[in-house]
Amino acid sequence: MKSMLLHTCCAICLSEALWQIKDSYDISLFFYNPNLVDEEEYFKRLFALKQYVDILENEHNITFKSFIIMPYDKEEHNTAIAEHKHLSEKSQKCFCCYKLRLKKTFDYAKDLSLETFATTLQISRHKNTAWLSEIGEKLSVQPKRGKSPKFIPLDPKKNKQTYSNIIKDNNLYRQSFCGCIR
């Protein structure tokens, strides 16, 4: 099985992405979301994700190689989008945010010598999947020393089967907005 670093934004997106990749990849989770509106939202999503992962591992025999949690760093996000901060959602501001998060995911995957990387952001109907694929694929082919991890696109239209019932059944936090700083 190939190794994968999966950038994970929240439990619900993981639930909808997981079935596409769980049988083909040895998955390490990567929670890196400096775009979230505040620390309260960051910790709500992180806590729900941790609970969800515990349930998957203990009750459904779905295991993860590791779970990397990056600290909340609003300033890193603000710097990345500074030139476009006045723009609305689904604009160049989002492209810069995607690039920040995918670049960090790529860098960690490379440092850990993982073969692939992906993001659950591609599952959300609120995100531009074409931009995410473009960024991921460009990162994959950048000339760098050593082997670079390959970007694996996730297909939001393949969400015929999910593990979201686990989130509902266990009353885990399910946000009603993208969470971005506005």
- Per-residue pLDDT reduced to its tens digit, 42-95: 999 999 999 999 999 998 899 999 999 999 999 999 898 888 777 767 778 899
Name the CATH superfamily housing domain 2-169.
HUPs (3.40.50.620)
Q: Tell me how far apart the alpha carbons of residues 131 and 139 are, in angstroms, rounded to a whole number.
A: 12
Q: What is the mean pLDDT of residues 27-36?
A: 96
Q: Tell me, what's the pLDDT at 156?
A: 73
Strand partners, 67: 29
More confident: 85 or 179: 85
pLDDT at residue 180 above 70?
no
Q: Tell me, what's the pLDDT at 108?
A: 97
At which residue do the structure tokens 């160049």 appear?
92
Vertex 31 angle, CA 37 and 129, to 5°: 75
What separation, in Å, do the N-terminal and C-terminal C-alpha atoms of the chain show? 40
